[in-house]
Amino acid sequence: MCTRLPSPFLLLLLLGLSGAASAQERPDGDALFRQLDGELPTPGPTRAASGAPGHRYWQQQVDYRIEASLDEEKHRITGRERIDYRNNSPDVLRYLWVQLDQNTEAKDSELLRIRTTDPVGEENEKSYRELGYEVFRQSFAGGYQIRSVTTASQPPQPLSHTIRGTMLRVDLPQPLQPGGRFSFAIAWSYAIRDISVHSTRTGYELLEQDPKNAIYTIAHWYPRLAAYSERHGWHVHNYVGEEFSLEFGDFVVRLDAPVDVVVAATGELQNAAEVLSPAQRARLAQARAAKEPVFVITPAEAKAAEEAAAKGRPEGRRTWEFHAKNVRDFAWAASRKYAWDAMGVPVGERTVMAMSYYPNEAEPLWSKYSTHAVAHTLEGYGRYLEYPYPVALSCNGGVGGMEHPMISFQRARPEPDGTYSERRKYGLISVIIHEVGHNWFPMIVNNDERRWRWMDEGFNSFVQQVTEGYWEKEYPSRNSARRERILDYMKSSRDQPIMTNTSLLREGGNNAYSKVTLALTVLREAVLGRETFDFAFREYCRRWAFKRPYPGDFFRTMEDASGQDLDWFFRGWFFTADHVDLAITGVRQLELDTRDPEIEKPRAKAREDKRPRRLRELRNAAQPKRVDRHPSLRDYYDEFDEFAVTPTDRKDYQKLLEGLKPHERRLLKLQQRIYVVDFENVGGLP
């Protein structure tokens, strides 16, 4: 029966977590809500049970002094670096491992040996892109040429070393004791890949309309020390295209380039007086206090450099020097085609320079949006952790979107006539927010990307979504557009737990980006609430800034700082491939029994009158009855009306009221609807 009452509300009575209706057997409620003690590493001196770094936490430090030269004719980089390694571990080290990431471009690289091609179906077709890549790789002489590995002392002494794929082992003359330091030097060179032919994360681009003036976006370019940690020792997985786990250190880098080429890089420019004109230096100073981006190098100046080079490249070279402190990597971009704009962004008591570098082919899209998007990222992500570096750069080039400390690469440009679609506009803004946002994850909160991709891509995509919400009302976030796709993915057989190692992911985009974004959104909006979530996530960022967190450190910190048991949430979302699918199996309305006979007996009579009669009852009603033929058989009960209100009923009701407390009497007059919803947990996520 459905009775109309004012002030309706819905009461959900959760009647338990049932088994699955799907083919996969789901765990029972006890398993879903079991603590994560067995899944997380045991706390110890380096990592506390609270999720914070332990009182004996340590990590290595590596400082670099690099001098490199760009050969624009041969598209080649030649360099020499001094590496100062500090052993902060309690272990004695007999050798050091160095990453040679450019060796993925060698013809005998492991990446090529394990790489699969595009599927060739019944049509026996193959994409031009895939075919072009394979033809290109046959002729490209990539990989490092290591010219020497020596001590840094004078005179330098050769060091015994061994190269295995993308890893170089340097054998130490003496074991390196805890707290000890060792300095050595590597001289090297390599050919830069043409990413106009095949897209990659680093290389040079030649535009069709200007095939003589390259745009260089250079990363993974110098031999880098591998990470060494208390959990994994040396991180020696060969580089086959994933991302990295690196150590923090200080960089002094001198980049030698043709005299008319503009260089952007990680760190602060040290010799502006040597590489910029007086007018350009004045504009750079003006930009620091500007409310809108100011051109340091104007599009007209960039165009003039292109046209002059077309007539004959000027002779001479100049060196750009950059210093960067407490970063885990260094990258740079260079081109004579670059215009450069900048504006200062207040960050705490400091001013951070947000800057963009781009060719005229990127106009008017880039001058309108790029630097503003950089500044917006500093503000948005700064709600969780203040940006610690002096500059943040967005550079246009052939790389579709890649992040490095203080500098990022983006490819999006308008049409040749300068027009652009709404998708291109917001795509550029979003990719800049995403790539600049990677300064927080993993460049500052230095997780191991090689093992746990979700800890940088997932966290970054989530904070990107939060930051986009501050750009404008109803910002068309791609994360929102992906929601239906990720829900379909989570219900499919392709789904994997978020806690799947990076190298085993079948669909990195869905699993490491979108699924984590959805999980953290649910945690923030539906489980903890924004204030509690933001406090806990801010604490995680604070604890692990410039350190190397692992998944357990995140899970434990979020519980510790939120004050809530979240093991059930992390187990379901991160350790299983379950999904949200609650089947409603029934809805029932309950009616309050007021105990008032003047109300309840008429209700009961109305229900009885409306009760459907069984066929047997209907047929029996017409049959002759014995009591009709023998009236003497009738007594009180034949005449009794069970729905009539009697004096006894009224007396009993008054006695009941007298025995109730005031709040109990008010409950008897409750004017609300009460429902029971029966459900079955088909998807498995609680």
d(Cα 480, Cα 306) in Å, to the nearest integer? Answer: 41
| CA distances for 16 relative to 2, 31, 32, 582, angstroms | 26, 13, 12, 12
Q: What are the pLDDT digits (tens) for 566-578?
A: 999 999 999 999 9
Tokens found for residue 396: 């246009």
DSSP one-letter code for 613:
P
- In the predicted structure, residue 421 carries a pLDDT above the cut 90: yes
Whether the pLDDT of residue 19 is over 80: the answer is: no
Lowest average pLDDT, out of 22-36, 82-96, 154-168, goes to 22-36
pLDDT band with cut points at 50, 70 and 90 for residue 1:
very low
Residue 5: is its pLDDT beyond 50? Answer: no
Nearest one of 112, 217, 238 to 168, comparing CA atoms: 238
What's the CA gap between 375 and 393, in Å, rounded?
A: 10
Alpha carbon distance, N-terminus to C-terminus of the chain:
32
Q: Give Cα 169 distance to the centre of its chain.
A: 33
Give the SS3 label for residue 558: helix
Q: 658 or 175: whose pLDDT is higher?
A: 175
Indicate the burial class of 681 (C-beta count within 10 angstroms; 0-12, 13-18, 19 or more).
Answer: buried
Amino acid identity of 125? E
639 CA to centre of own chain? 77
Taking CB atoms within 8 Å and a gap of at least 24, the contacts of 312-317 are 313/72, 313/258, 313/260, 314/258, 314/259, 314/260, 315/259, 316/258, 316/259, 317/69, 317/256, 317/257, 317/258, 317/259
Torsion (CA) 421, 425, 430, 435 in degrees, nearest 10: 110
- Residue 41 is predicted with a pLDDT of 94
Phi first, then psi: give them for residue 530, nearest 5 degrees: -65, -45
Instruction: Look at residue 17 and tell me whether its pLDDT is greater than 60.
Output: no
How many residues are given for the chain? Answer: 686
Distance CA 560, CA 638 (A): 71
Higher pLDDT, 15 or 535: 535
Please state the rounded mean pLDDT for residues 552-559: 98
Residue 589 binned pLDDT confidence (cut-offs 50, 70, 90): confident
pLDDT band with cut points at 50, 70 and 90 for residue 198: confident
Q: Is the pLDDT of residue 10 over 50?
A: no
Instruction: Judge whether residue 138 has pLDDT over 80.
Output: no
101-115, 590-604, 669-683, range with the lowest pLDDT? 101-115
Question: What's the mean pLDDT when you consider all of the chain?
Answer: 90
367 and 293 in contact (C-beta within 8 Å)? Answer: yes
Residue-level pLDDT at 116: 63
How far lies 338's CA from each of 108, 263, 298, 341, 356, in Å? Answer: 36, 9, 9, 10, 9
Is pLDDT above 80 for 171? yes
Closest CA to 26 of 398, 401, 403, 582: 582
Q: Which domains does the chain have, with CATH numbers?
A: 60-117+129-247 (2.60.40), 268-318+341-444 (3.30.2010.30), 445-577 (1.10.390.10)
Averaged pLDDT for residues 356-385: 98
pLDDT (0 to 100) of residue 18:
39
pLDDT-wise least confident of 494-498, 583-587, 615-619: 615-619
Selection from 315, 365, 307, 316 nearest residue 336 by Cα: 307
Assess contact for 378 and 387: CB atoms under 8 A.
Answer: yes
Calculate the CA 613 to chain-centre distance: 63
- Closest of 183, 167, 307, 330 to residue 235, by C-alpha: 167
Query: pLDDT digits over 92-133, tens only?
Result: 999 999 999 999 888 777 776 666 655 555 555 656 666 666
pLDDT at 6: 35
Radius of gyration of the chain (CA): 35
d(CA 415, CA 361) in angstroms, rounded, equals 9
SS3 332: strand
**Cα gap 277→256, rounded to integer Å:** 18
Rounded to whole angstroms, how far apart are CA atoms 676 and 222? 65
Over residues 361-377, the mean pLDDT reads: 98
Q: Which has the higher per-residue pLDDT, 26 or 256?
A: 256
Mean pLDDT of 340-345: 98
- Is it the case that residue 12 has pLDDT exceeding 60? no
* DSSP string across 376-422: HHHHHHTTTS---SSEEEEEESSSSEEEETTEEEE-----TTS---H
| Lowest mean pLDDT across 287-301, 430-444, 562-576, 616-630 | 616-630
Give the DSSP H/E element, type plus range, for residue 98: strand 93-99
Residue 424 is predicted with a pLDDT of 96
Q: Are 346 and 386 in contact (CB under 8 A)?
A: no
- Burial letters for 142-175: b for 16+ Cβ neighbours within 10 Å, e otherwise? bbbebeebbeeeeeeeebebeeebbbbbbebeee
Report pTM. 0.87
DSSP element (H, E) containing 617: helix 615-621
pLDDT band at 30 (very low <50, low <70, confident <90, very high): confident
pLDDT tens, position by position, 455-514: 999 999 999 999 999 999 999 988 776 777 888 999 999 999 999 998 889 899 999 999
Name the more confident of 596 and 81. Answer: 81
pLDDT, tens digit (0-9, with 9 covering 90-100), for 56-82? 999 999 999 999 999 999 999 999 999
* Sign of the C-alpha dihedral computed for residues 636, 637, 643 and 649 taken in this order: positive
